[in-house]
Amino acid sequence: MLLDKGIYSACVWVPKIKTSLRAITSVRKLSSSISSHEEGKYKGKYDVIIAGGGMVGCTLACVMGKTSLLSNLRVLLLEGSPDKKFELKPEYSNRVVALSQNTKTLMNSINVWGHIEKMRLQPVRHMQVWDACSDALITFSSTDIMDDDVAYIVENDVLLHAVNTELKSPEIKNIEVVYGAKIEGYEIPTTHGSQESIVKMSNGDTYSCQLLIGADGANSAVRKAMGVQYLSWNYDQMGVVATLHLAEETENTTAWQRFLPTGPVALLPLDSKRSSLVWSTSNTHAKELLNLPQEQFVDALNDALWKQYPRSSSVDACTSWVGSWLKSVGLPDGAERQLPPSVRDIAPGSRAAFPLGFGHSTRYIAPGVALVGDAAHRVHPLAGQGVNLGFGDVKDLADLMSDCIYAGYDITHHDWLERYESSRQRHNVPTQLAVDALNRLYAFDIPPLVLIRSVGLQITNALHPIKKLIMSHAAT
């Protein structure tokens, strides 16, 4: 594979020997394909193989089964974990996602949203985000901003079960799913043309396909086989999650997020008396939090939501002046602040922590290969965008494959894959950079920075068109 990549680079730099090298590459590729087929069990050829059946890979398979122009393609979904029996337990799972309106539309289009509604979800009708180092805040409300719910909180397991239920419906005939299918490696084409990708399984089986789609998460082996550049960094933060029992029963349709100097702490509503926690904090603090006795963890969390942090009097004076000025010109001054709920307890065993990082694959495509979801991009969870970006990839890739087939082209046609990459990167990269910038901006408690971000937040909160723009970008 490495040798093949070297040959490919040579083709780029030494055009005169391009043709002969390509011929050698093709011969080597062909012989390695034959040897792979002979050594293990060759299980067959598919039009499309989706590597990874997480939320994004499963949804893509379902969309490909339900889209008429794609339903003639033979698709194989390979997922490493076993096909677990799902049971809707009375206690909520600690892994949840905030789903956007566009994700709801996609799920509705494949009949999955109904399954989620039959199990459980909680609409978010109001959102309050505020700074622990000043009085600045921003609110989003379903009534004045979107005429619809701001988002929906759904457990990852519920979403996956809903998609898998629909995948198994008799209406879908072209999708095969193999669970417990550990992929060991890939051979992917080095040039555009008619070559296939080979997928090698850990049990020695092999498959081949025309289009390989990497939906195998942030450590994507498909991306590594593509040999593309991957820009990534760790935030040296972990997201501590838990299921929270609130002190008081309310309608509980507000999502709360407070920016602390150590990272944001967020409460996502689950039902009238429970919320889900995502507390981003330093690795050391996260480990401490995981080891605290339950009662002390609850105290630490209530402190994070309520504690007064040291304030700068000049920042307070400026934000107060900006608030009065906004009020004098008839704009919201941010005084509509609501008090966050207090936490009474956490569901036993629901505490866990996940490392947080940024990742951007400079290319989402290679000959006969495309990436979707976290395999292509990874973001900090503070804006609840991660899986929604992945579902955006699914929608655009499926639409472009349909257009490609309708126009009479092969689904691996370079121009169409390029269109997929450019449409998604135009949306995903600015979102990733904005989320990264927000995380960095709020990591400091030095007064000049607190002042800049606080006034920025106050003004953004006062201007409805800007808030609407933010919400509509987050929803797509």
Ligand X SMILES: Cc1cc2nc3c(=O)[nH]c(=O)nc-3n(C[C@H](O)[C@H](O)[C@H](O)COP(=O)(O)OP(=O)(O)OC[C@H]3O[C@@H](n4cnc5c(N)ncnc54)[C@H](O)[C@@H]3O)c2cc1C
Residue 351: closest CA among 94, 144, 142, 59: 94
Query: What gap in Å lies between CA 195 and CA 213, rounded to an integer?
Result: 15
Q: How far is the CB of 276 from ligand X (least distance, A)?
A: 9
- Specify the residue, 160 or 459, whose C-beta has the smaller distance to ligand X: 160
- Which tokens sit at 388? 């929604």
The whole-angstrom distance between residue 192's C-alpha and the CA centroid of its chain comes to 29
In whole angstroms, the minimum distance from the beta carbon of 209 to ligand X comes to 15
Residue closer to ligand X, measured from CB, 386 or 447? 386
In 3-state terms, what secondary structure has residue 177?
A: strand
Own/partner pairs, 100-105, CB within 8 angstroms, 24+ separation:
100/151, 100/384, 100/388, 100/474, 100/475, 100/476, 101/146, 101/148, 101/149, 101/151, 101/475, 102/388, 102/391, 102/392, 102/395, 102/475, 102/476, 103/387, 103/388, 103/391, 104/152
| Cβ atoms of 222 and 57 closer than 8 Å | no
Cβ–Cβ < 8 Å for 99, 388: yes
The least distance separating ligand X from the CB of residue 156, rounded to whole angstroms, comes to: 7
- Residue placing its CB nearer to ligand X in the complex, 53 or 341: 53
Residue 370: CB minimum distance to ligand X, A: 13
Nearest distance from C-beta of residue 342 to ligand X, angstroms = 22
Q: Which residues bind ligand X (CB under 6 A)?
A: 52-57, 78-81, 97-98, 181-183, 215-217, 221, 239, 241, 278, 354, 373-374, 381, 384-388, 390
CA 425 to chain CA centroid, nearest Å = 14
In the block, tokens 């100097």 appear at 261
Our CB check for ligand X shows the closer of 252 and 319 to be: 252
Closest separation between CB of residue 218 and ligand X, Å? 6
**Dihedral angle over CA of 253, 442, 102, 332, nearest 10:** 60
Least Å distance between CB 455 and ligand X? 28
Give the chain's largest Cα–Cα span: 79
Q: Which residue is nearest to ligand X (CB)?
A: 54
* C-beta closer to ligand X: residue 8 or 297: 297
Report, in Å, the least distance between residue 359 CB and ligand X: 10
Shorter beta-carbon distance to ligand X: residue 98 or 177: 98
β strands within 179-295, DSSP E: 183-187, 197-201, 206-214, 230-246, 254-260, 263-271, 274-282
Smaller CB separation from ligand X, 11 or 242: 242
CB closer to ligand X out of 368 and 384: 384
Report H helices in 74-131. 101-109, 112-119
Angle, alpha carbons 343-349-351 (nearest 5°): 60
In 3D space, the residue among 132, 191, 209 whose CA is nearest the CA of residue 366 turns out to be: 191
User: Which is closer to ligand X, CB of 354 or CB of 409?
Assistant: 354
Residue among 235, 240, 196, 465 at smallest CA distance from 354:
240
